[in-house]
Amino acid sequence: MKTAITTYLNQLELNLQTGSAKEHTHRAALEILIETIAPNVNAVNEPTRIACGAPDYVVLNKKNNLPLGYIEAKDIGISLDKVQKTEQLLGSSKL
């Protein structure tokens, strides 16, 4: 797992060094990290909308494609304390 996290962090750094990276730039690296750490799942970027909105990822069980959870990704440097109070995340409590 340590190698997977190191690889993820290295990719983020490479992305940031370009000077043009945004939230979506880092999603490929996050998908690889999730699926490396948990090989029994598929992390689907930009899945179909659900009742509470449009999560950035749905994490599915590979055996039966049932959702195990949802992920809302934010860009590097965005304060999660501020994001937590937004309508986007407050709506997620309706799950």
Which residue stretches of the chain have pLDDT < 70?
83-95
For the chain, domain boundaries: 2-94
The CA-atom distances, in angstroms, between 51 and each of 41, 42, 59, 70 are: 22, 21, 16, 12
Q: In this structure, what is the dihedral angle of CA atoms 50, 53, 59, 65, given to the nearest 10 degrees?
A: 10
The two structure tokens encoding residue 57: 């990822």
Task: Give the separation between CA 57 and CA 29, rounded to whole angstroms.
Answer: 13
* pTM score above 0.75: yes
**What pLDDT was estimated at residue 60?**
97
Task: Give the separation between CA 19 and CA 33, rounded to whole angstroms.
Answer: 22
**What pLDDT was estimated at residue 80?**
80
CA-nearest of 78, 79, 38, 81 to 57 is: 38
**What pLDDT was estimated at residue 95?**
47
